[in-house]
Amino acid sequence: MKIFLGPAGVPAGAPEKSTLGALRYLAGVGLNAMEVQFVRGVAMSPEMAEEVGREAERLGIRLSVHCPYFVNLCSPEPGKVRASERRILQSVERASRMGAGVATFHPGFYGRLSPEEALERVGEACLRMRREMERRGWDEVRLGLETTGKQRSFGTLQEVVEICRRVEGCVPVVDWAHLYAREGGRLDYAEVFEALKGLGLRHLHTHFTGVEFSPVGEGRGNEKHHLELSSDQPPFEPLAREILRRKVEITLISESPVLEQDSLRMKEIFRSLGYRFS
Ligand SMILES: [Zn+2]
């Protein structure tokens, strides 16, 4: 098993504010993962994506990408669904050039649909995207459906697992803070790993940060904003223990306000529990 730690996007400490600069900085401080952010659009050229891929490989950093936020695969307007698929596929294309394993996205919003109807729509969209990815030779990239932190967003753990069960090439991206917020501050790490068991994943891609949420009834909440790891909401150490106990090969992308500093804290916690980073 191997553990991959690093930030979402270019870290604050990187002297050179570019993806290449970020990779060199992360390798220097001893981190081995980074999620390239296309959340406001895919601004990186195809050539740069290839260069980033070569540099990441040289430095031993595992890459993933985060697709634009402006995505709704449950929209009642077919044009908006197609535009969402195009945005995801554009990120996938760059991910493929970079050698990134996962392209993460938030699937969409229920709107007027029932959860069952939304699940059908997301499943159909994922199937269309996977077919296109196979045609284009991008199919080694996984479509990563993220668990979401708000009641109106499609993406409970069960929903994400169900899509991944139905559509080959889709994987869950477990956002631990989102699960915690959505369930009103409840999060049983062992339960999550059990729910994922049937998928037979070789690698689990996840996001971690502390999070503030507003409760909306018994066992339900909406995420408000991200907090540092030291907030202990949710607590990181029990997760680290569960990962080591189950020997899960995992990536933990830090989305905390202090990004890479919290990745380094996670590294310390794993070390204190006896894990040795090579
Ligand atoms: Zn996300």
- Indicate the Cα dihedral angle 15, 18, 23, 26, nearest 10°: 40
Asked whether residue 278 is domain-assigned, the answer is no
Q: Measured between alpha carbons, how far is 60 from 223 in angstroms, rounded to an integer?
A: 33
On whether residue 203 sits in a domain, the answer given is yes
> Considering the domain boundaries, does residue 45 fall inside one?
yes
Say if 29 falls within a structural domain. yes
Alpha carbons 216 and 58: distance in angstroms, whole number: 47
CATH of residue 228: 3.20.20.150
Residues 95-108 have a mean pLDDT of: 98
- In the reported structure, the alpha carbon of residue 28 is separated from the centroid of ligand 1 by a whole-number distance in angstroms of 26
165 belongs to a structural domain: yes
Mapping DSSP onto H, E and C, the string for 230-258 reads HHCCCCCHHHHHHHHHHCCCEEEEECCCC
Tell me what percent of the residues of the chain surpass a pLDDT of 90. 99
Q: Residues 169-185: what's their mean pLDDT?
A: 97
Examine residue 145 and state whether it is found in any structural domain, yes or no: yes
The CA 66 to ligand 1 mean position distance, Å, reads 7
- Does any domain span residue 277? no
- The closest of 220, 179, 184, 181 to 196, measured between CA atoms, is 179
Tokens representing 247 are 């020997």
Report pLDDT digits (tens) over 20-50: 999 999 999 999 999 999 999 999 999 999 9
According to the model, what pLDDT value does residue 278 have?
A: 81
34 Cα–ligand 1 center, Å: 13
Is residue 127 one of the residues assigned to a domain? yes
Q: Quote the ligand 1 centre to 274 CA distance (angstroms).
A: 30
Using one digit for the tens of pLDDT, what is the confidence trace for 181-201? 999 999 999 999 999 999 999
How remote is the CA of residue 38 from the centroid of ligand 1, in Å?
11
In this predicted structure, the answer to whether residue 116 has a pLDDT above a threshold of 90 is yes
Instruction: Give residue 217's pLDDT.
Output: 87
Q: Report the percent of the chain where pLDDT is more than 70.
A: 100
- Angle in degrees, 0-180, between the axes of helices 46-59 and 19-29, rounded to the nearest 10: 10
How many domains does one find in the chain? 1
Other residues' Cβ atoms within 10 Å of the Cβ of residue 30: 11
pLDDT at residue 66 greater than cutoff 90? yes
What's the domain range around 185? Answer: 3-272
Mean pLDDT (whole number) for 97-121: 97
Exposure class string for 130-139: b at 16+ Cβ within 10 A, else e: bebbeeeebb
